[in-house]
Amino acid sequence: MKDVKSFLELTDEEKWSVLRWRNHPDIRSRMFSSHEISLEEHLAFLNHLKSDPTSLYWMVGDQGVVSLKRLDKKNGNAYLGIYKNPADTIKDSAKELMRVLLSVTFDQLNLHTLKLEVFSDNPRAVNFYNKCGFNQEGRLREFIKREDKVWADLILMGITRAEFVSETDTTN
């Protein structure tokens, strides 16, 4: 696995790479905010991260981005974010991105639970998260109004520290 680098430490070239990845149509279409992000908006977001202790973002080599949002250290939980570099062709790189994120979550930050929300019309992602040990915990019906003005359901999924440890033990 390549270097894991905080968004707070990105070079200008890396900031551009992240912006290109995030603005790729395949990535944008699966985000809550699917508009094309301007450079100014991107730089403002990166600057905001300096004062937001509830959001942590990392660039993982040239493979993709992982993040923890809504980080609640008191209750030991957070929500994940993950997307691959759309040009990445390395087999299983999404799994490697997830391994990095789960390791940070449970081994380094010592959190108890990791959650995610995924659009219900993205069965490929739901299947991926299931394979990574996440369980479906609920459905938020017509919860997000997409930019095309269509309401979308979200599936809520989660994994606990014990499930992660158990999953790790069975894959070794």
Say which CATH number the domain at 27 has: 3.40.630.30
Provide the pLDDT for residue 168: 64
pLDDT at site 32:
82
Domain count, the chain: 1
Q: Above 90 in pLDDT, residue 103? A: yes
Residue closest to 77 by CA, chosen among 115, 107, 42, 39? 115
Type and span of the H or E element at 24: none
**Is the CA virtual torsion 140, 144, 150, 152 positive or negative?**
negative
Instruction: Provide the residue range defining the domain that includes 65.
Output: 4-171
Average pLDDT, the chain: 92
pTM for this model (two decimals): 0.90
- pLDDT category of residue 88 using cuts at 50, 70 and 90: confident
